[in-house]
Amino acid sequence: MTHFGAVVRNRRERMHLEDRRFSLRQVAQRVGIEPAYLSKIERGDVAPPSEATTIRLARELGEDPDVFLAMAGKVSSDLQEIVRKRPRLFADLIRQLKAAPDDAILRVVREVRDGDW
């Protein structure tokens, strides 16, 4: 299985091919970590970073923060809070939907209602 760091490195290097601002050093600077630490993350020498850093990395690299968090083995704190407030309801909902196809899950998502205007 591809580790988190490899995905980060692959993504960053692809962007670096077209934009020199995506060097290891500049990305680390914008994300607010040391270049040496980002290098270790990319090599898989250290565990994935904190939730906040993972989210900043995702946004910097144009990726979905939830997807990056999942690859890092984490669940965002706002999702945890949602489940904590109504644990039985959401746990049951998630288990029931675990094998459902994407379009079926989208059908239970709350939509923005279009009215009469």
| Contact positions vs other proteins (CB under 8 A) | 14-15, 17-19, 21-22, 29-30, 32, 60, 62, 102-103, 106, 109-117
**d(Cα 75, Cα 68) in Å, to the nearest integer?**
10
The number of beta carbons lying within 10 Å of the beta carbon of residue 116 is 3
Could you tell me the smallest distance in angstroms from the CB atom of residue 7 to other proteins? 15
* Residue closer to other proteins (CB basis): 98 or 113: 113
* Token output for 44: 């898989």
**Residues 12, 19: Cα–Cα separation, whole Å:** 10
CB of 45 to other proteins, least distance (A): 26
Residue 86: strand, helix, or coil: coil
- Beta carbon nearer to other proteins, 1 or 117: 117
CB of 32 to other proteins, least distance (A): 7
